Structure 1
Amino acid sequence: MKIVPHTRPALQVVVLGGGYAGMMAALRLAPYARVTLVDPSDRFTERVRMHELAAGRPDVTHSRARLLHGTGIEHLAARATTLDPDARAVHTDTGRTLRYDRLVYALGSHTTPGGEPGERLYTAETADALHARLCRRPGTLAVVGGGLTGIEMAAEIAEAHPGWKVRLLTGATLGPGLSDRGRAHVRTALDRLRVTVVEGHRVAGADAVDADAVLWTAAMTATGGLARDAGLDTDPATGRIRVDAALRSVSHLDIYAAGDAAAARARRAGALRMACAAALPTGAHAAAAIAAETRGTAPRPLAFSFLIQCVSLGRKDGLVQKVRADDSPREAVLTGRPAAHFKERIIRFTLTFLRLAAHRPGALRLVPWIG
């Protein structure tokens, strides 16, 4: 009599969100589980290029089917409408219900605008609509927010649309996370592009800004409503899911969070800010933790350190700011055209990492902060 060996059914994993963190988590999990990626778009968006899209770059997306080809991952083009942790189920707007053994919550973040987005108020998420407005009659544009997103948007738009008068308004100091040398270079670049910088000017909302168009970059919030409504422990200030060192929800251990949706911490970095720089590593780590579970081993704590901040200042200028492990700035900077070229290479590498995860996952072990 032939004995048929017993085989355990494959782990069912649902990944919510197809951005940097969600794509990396899904791709890294594919060899170990049956993975369903839930995202309404059939295109993967390079969110770090939204300032380029606003300025006139025709497209910042890539075929999701091509990135997932050959991995066995099912892409469900839908939005998750309800998360039921007790039943381990996700309900979608297509009417389909997905059951899971483990879930990765990677729905990212969004800008919280100071008003209702429309003809006059824009955010990074509506960069294509902003570009359409910029191509019509020139006028005045106010960029609200002096962080890296606001700086990149102001510089890119001022360079590509010189007919517009661009102001950057910030309630604090310009580039608060930059060193003195880094901030000085940003000021010089913005002045060269004729961007007026107004510091210490807190704006209550778009209606309080005198401009033909307002670009709001001042507040990012995790897309965590689905998690909060499902009873997961979330940070009320940011909407991020509270997680342990392995990126498991502290209230629901079969749910992991990655990217901007996770209130993640690492021993050397401390609290991780919302950024692509943290999205890829946390997506990879959530996948590694789930894979460890399938092998019956305890997931390792997240090990992550910040290295640099890269800032675009138009197509021919940039800033690469060296930072400590906790993201605080060092004085060392790279500026000008070399910095612009360096940032472009970094952005291209993000897609390279996703392709490696799909087709040569072993190669990612050579990348310390991902592998």
Structure 2
Amino acid sequence: MKHRIVVLGAGYAGAFAAGNLARRLSPDDTEITVVNAVPDFVERMRLHLLAAGRDLAFRKLADVFAGTGVRLRLARVTGVDPERKTVAVTGEDGDGEVVYDTLLYALGSSAAHHDVPGVPEYAFDVTGQFPALRLRERLAALDGGGTVLVVGEGLTGIETATEFAESRPDLSVALAARGEPGAWLSPRARRHLRRAFDRLGVTVHEDAGIQAVEPTRAITAHGRSIAADVTVWSAGFAVHPVAAASGLEVAETGQIVVDRTMRSVSHPDVYAAGDCAYAIGENGRPLPMSCASAGYTGMQATAAIIARLTGGEVPVTGLKYYGNHISLGRRDAIFQMVDGDVRAKSWYLGGRTAARLKSGVLRGAGWSIAHPTFGMPKRKRRLATAPDRAGVQAAA
């Protein structure tokens, strides 16, 4: 029988990993299946642009994996049984199971509501294709003079607020922050960010943690009311509870606890990559949920799976951050370099040059995933014999 590799999720981490596994492993003895809820490769870093009204063409996963041998199953994951090595799914064809020998769990994350009243009922977010389209429709219905409140001072909140303000100058856009937006940036970069907010007309409410969301306003922890025809929730990410319910060892965040090679510490046939992996970076801290983490963990998981299945030595890829890249509308951005402890260096790049760099990064990430056969080796690696694989895994 062929070794069955199942990849759950086809975001940045899952799609990249599936393409690389197909590129490097022989189809004679491996079978790769990707399970994803939607038919498109959704570039999450562009979803705030989609919500703002920009026309974005997402690639079909069927086209992405065409010619690779990767099987695509459009379905939603409802459970994982690591003892039986099965994944429960539901889709247009009804309920079913997918059996695996090696599982790569890359289901990503969604908006973290933090149990704030009113968020599920009244707030919008940009963490998925359908939520972004729902927000796009709501914004399009707003007349001039409408108010939009973006909650959250992180990268997503800043990018969303500035994009909305630039795309819809007829709206009043505000940002609610628990502290100072961009507080982790260097002093010069923070000044650049402030100038961008002023230029775009974004009103910043500091010390404004939101404790409730209502249809036309948000209430801060101090009881202050902020008017909002539309509230956009960008106050962090949360992973799906299916991993915790499966019996896999998870952290308090619900993320799967993995070793340095992205292998589950409780179930050696399971790997995790992207936001759902609780991985420790080179600075000794958990990797944040981000596209960069998806790239690092996806590369490490792929390399580890290939090495262990083919009897090779498991390589170690880097888990080190070099900087934060923040879009401030279409013609401005900040690229902030950081040190080994993820503290901002004094140097930063801003303006149109940084915006062009960010655009290049986005295009590069999308292109690499959309062309999984690029650089395909003439000879793919064959799997070790079953006894050899068992020995390699036991030694690992």
2:246 paired residue among 230, 242, 245: 230
Change (3 A) 1:358 1:328: farther
Q: In structure 2, what is the Cα distance between the partners aligned to 1:180 and 1:306?
A: 20
Q: Counterpart of 2:251 in structure 1: which amino acid?
A: D
1:253 paired residue among 268, 276, 287: 268
1:279 aligns with 2:276: no
1:210 paired residue among 212, 219, 227: 227
Q: In structure 1, what is the Cα distance between the partners aligned to 2:373 and 2:179?
A: 42
1:169-208 equivalent positions in 2, closer than 5 A: 169-207=176-214, 208=219
How many residues align? The count is: 352
1:19 paired residue among 11, 30, 55: 11
Q: In structure 2, what is the Cα distance between the partners aligned to 1:196 and 1:162?
A: 13
Deviations 1:144-165 (A, max 9, x none): 1011111101100001111111
1:86 paired residue among 68, 83, 87: 83
- The answer as to whether partners of 1:245 and 1:265 remain within 8 angstroms in 2 is yes
Q: In structure 2, what is the Cα distance between the partners aligned to 1:118 and 1:267?
A: 36
Give the Å deviation of 1:298. 4.7
Aligned to 1:62: 59
Aligned to 1:52: 49
Q: In structure 1, what is the Cα distance between the partners aligned to 2:79 and 2:308?
A: 26
Q: Secondary structure at the match of 2:266?
A: coil
Tell me whether 54-63 or 110-119 shows the greater mean CA deviation: 110-119
Q: In structure 2, what is the Cα distance between the partners aligned to 1:184 and 1:361?
A: 46
Tell me whether 43-52 or 120-129 shows the greater mean CA deviation: 120-129
1:1-371 equivalent positions in 2, closer than 5 A: 9-30=1-22, 31-32=24-25, 33-59=30-56, 61-93=58-90, 94-113=94-113, 114-116=116-118, 120-125=122-127, 126-136=131-141, 137-138=143-144, 139-207=146-214, 208=219, 209-223=226-240, 225-236=241-252, 238-268=253-283, 270-361=285-376
Give the Å deviation of 1:355. 3.9
Give the Å deviation of 1:85. 0.8
Q: In structure 2, what is the Cα distance between the partners aligned to 1:151 and 1:43?
A: 26
Give the Å deviation of 1:120. 4.2
Q: In structure 2, what is the Cα distance between the partners aligned to 1:262 and 1:301?
A: 16
Aligned to 1:6: none
Tell me whether 186-195 or 122-131 shows the greater mean CA deviation: 122-131
Q: Secondary structure at the match of 1:23?
A: helix
Structure 2: runs of 5 or more not aligned: 220-225, 378-396
- The answer as to whether partners of 2:299 and 2:317 remain within 8 angstroms in 1 is no
Give the Å deviation of 1:177. 2.6
Structure 1: runs of 5 or more not aligned: 1-8, 363-371
Moved over 6 A (4+): none
Q: In structure 2, what is the Cα distance between the partners aligned to 1:11 and 1:296?
A: 14
Percent identical pairs in the alignment equals 38
Q: In structure 2, what is the Cα distance between the partners aligned to 1:39 and 1:96?
A: 14
Give the Å deviation of 1:241. 0.8
Q: Secondary structure at the match of 2:95?
A: coil
Instruction: Name the Cα RMSD after superposition.
Output: 1.8
Q: In structure 2, what is the Cα distance between the partners aligned to 1:54 and 1:20?
A: 19
State TM-score, norm by structure 1: 0.90
Aligned to 2:385: none
Q: Counterpart of 1:88 in structure 2: which amino acid?
A: K
- The answer as to whether partners of 1:53 and 1:128 remain within 8 angstroms in 2 is yes
Q: Secondary structure at the match of 2:318?
A: coil
Q: Secondary structure at the match of 2:210?
A: coil
Deviations 1:300-354 (A, max 9, x none): 3442211121111111111111122443211211111111111000100102222
Tell me whether 24-33 or 164-173 shows the greater mean CA deviation: 24-33
Q: In structure 2, what is the Cα distance between the partners aligned to 1:198 and 1:120?
A: 20
